[in-house]
Amino acid sequence: MDFELSQEQTMIYEYGASLAKTYDRAYWMEHAERRAFPEAMYKQIAADGFVGTIVPEAYGGAGLGMLEMNLFMEGLSNQGIPLLSLVIGATMSLGPIGVHGTEAQKQKYLPAACKGDIRFCFAITEPDAGTNTIRATTIAKPAANGRFKLNGRKTYITDGKESDYALVVTRTTPHTEVKRKTDGFTLFIVDTKAKGIEMHPIPVSVPVPEVQYQVFFDDVDLGPEDVLGEVGKGFDILFECLNPERILVGAISCGLGRFAMDKAVAYANERVVFNGPIGAYQALQHPLAKAKTEIELSSLMTRKAAWLFDQGLPCGAESNMAKYAAAEASIHAVDASLQCFGGNGFTKEYGIFDIYPLARLFRTAPLNSEMVLNYIGEHVMGLPRSY
Ligand SMILES: Cc1cc2nc3c(=O)[nH]c(=O)nc-3n(C[C@H](O)[C@H](O)[C@H](O)COP(=O)(O)OP(=O)(O)OC[C@H]3O[C@@H](n4cnc5c(N)ncnc54)[C@H](O)[C@@H]3O)c2cc1C
């Protein structure tokens, strides 16, 4: 067993620290508050080769694995500058296109996406299905001419309008007409500017630079060239996207927790209100030390899950545990940090409370902690299903 990172992996992990010299937390927050995508930062990340981290070299990527993507995202998040679009676009969309796309699709989308010229969003959540994807009703009905008409609604689609393409999870057969509940799903690559698509922003109270949208599909014309993988077999591809999503959300959570704690440690070593720095009080020190322990444990699990994924080994248990533990650790870390800052923690100047909403989001999205625990209880431990 080898826990040491290679020279290249160390460089990838440290990339965030060097990027933050130009695009720091203040830059990120300024964009988050305006809900403006940080184009310059994204272009720089693309130019430095990180948008295409997991894309094969033949299509403009770096040809690396989920472990490297995980290190890259953790490194950005350590600086408080994570981008959700690197999870939903660069990983959950470019990853499956690289594996399941036709040659034409790979040529059309991957090199341009790696260069940062086009972006992808990922659309699965529906207002009436929510966590229960099986009940999705957005449908691409096959027509006699071999084409499809897409109708339905998606919600909370991050970076929807600003993206050029959406990887859309649809049904091609309604859930009432399939033998197995996971049958009848198809993934489509949809041009977000196509006729019949309308998007409305959802005012979300989490400061992130990406906007979330309600997306309406009204008879959107799609062709066989837009299908990713096989018609009716989309759920298998969807499944492959979910573990990477959990791993990277774990990585972001670990990084955000560290970012908050680094600030808290510096402050608690300086601030004196009675005798000596407040960092000496165990009532402040122990919650920080506990959170630090939880963060480092979760970070190890995200790396293990990523490594298993890269080996083609089952990683559902590890990915879910990593996501759950990292989300909790990050919430504890931000909370413990906030307490150190007293009133200052709630100011814009110190920027600690601002970290909380995103850290807290990851207990609920992309998959709520209850469903993660359901997975662990049922699939890892063999307990009966409750729902
Ligand atoms: C900022 C933000 C960005 C997002 N970006 C995207 C995106 O880019 N693409 C996309 O497709 N979606 C996106 N989402 C949607 C997100 O993935 C969903 O909100 C999330 O999966 C939860 O689904 P829901 O909101 O429908 O909750 P519901 O399914 O309504 O669940 C509500 C609550 O019920 C509980 N619950 C549900 N089922 C069970 C169960 N079986 N057992 C125990 N408890 C249960 C959980 O506590 C859950 O939080 C985003 C959401 C937000 C807020």
Segment 90-114 shows an average pLDDT of 98
Residue 364 near ligand 1, beta carbon < 6 Å: yes
Residue 368 near ligand 1, beta carbon < 6 Å: yes
Residue 202 near ligand 1, beta carbon < 6 Å: no
Do residues 109 and 95 touch, judged by C-beta distance below 8 A? no
The two tokens of residue 50 are 């990180």
Measured from the Cα of 123, ligand 1's closest atom is: 11
Average pLDDT over the chain reads: 97
Burial class of residue 154, CB neighbours in 10 A (0-12, 13-18, 19+): buried
Query: Per-residue pLDDT tens for 235-246?
Result: 999 989 999 999
pLDDT at 283 (0 to 100):
98
Name the closest-CA residue to atom 38, ligand 1.
131
Do residues 209 and 31 touch, judged by C-beta distance below 8 A? yes
Q: How far apart are alpha carbons 93 and 356 in whole angstroms?
A: 27
Query: Per-residue pLDDT tens for 321-380?
Result: 999 999 999 999 999 999 999 999 999 999 999 999 999 999 999 999 999 999 999 999
Query: Per-residue pLDDT tens for 188-215?
Result: 999 999 999 999 999 999 999 999 999 9
Q: Which of 153, 156, 374 to mutate to test the pocket of ligand 1 (most atoms within 8 A of CB)?
A: 156
Measured from the Cα of 159, ligand 1's closest atom is: 8
pLDDT band, very low/low/confident/very high, at 163 (cuts 50, 70, 90): very high
Position 93 pLDDT exceeds 90: yes
pTM to 2 decimal places: 0.97
Name the closest-CA residue to atom 51, ligand 1.
156
Long-range contacts: 338-345, Cβ < 8 Å, 24+?
338/260, 339/284, 339/287, 340/264, 340/267, 340/268, 340/271, 340/278, 340/279, 340/284, 340/288, 341/264, 341/267, 344/267
Do residues 80 and 25 touch, judged by C-beta distance below 8 A? yes
Name the closest-CA residue to atom 25, ligand 1.
130
Residue 73 near ligand 1, beta carbon < 6 Å: no
Q: How far apart are alpha carbons 249 and 253 in whole angstroms?
A: 6
* Domains along the sequence of the chain with CATH: 7-114 (1.10.540.10), 120-230 (2.40.110.10), 236-380 (1.20.140.10)
Vertex 16: Cα angle to 15 and 21 (nearest 5):
100
Query: Per-residue pLDDT tens for 19-65?
Result: 999 999 999 999 999 999 999 999 999 999 999 999 999 999 999 99
Measured from the Cα of 124, ligand 1's closest atom is: 11
pLDDT at 144 (0 to 100):
87
Side chain identity at residue 181, one-letter code: K
Q: Is 334 helix (H, G, I), strand (E, B) or coil?
A: helix
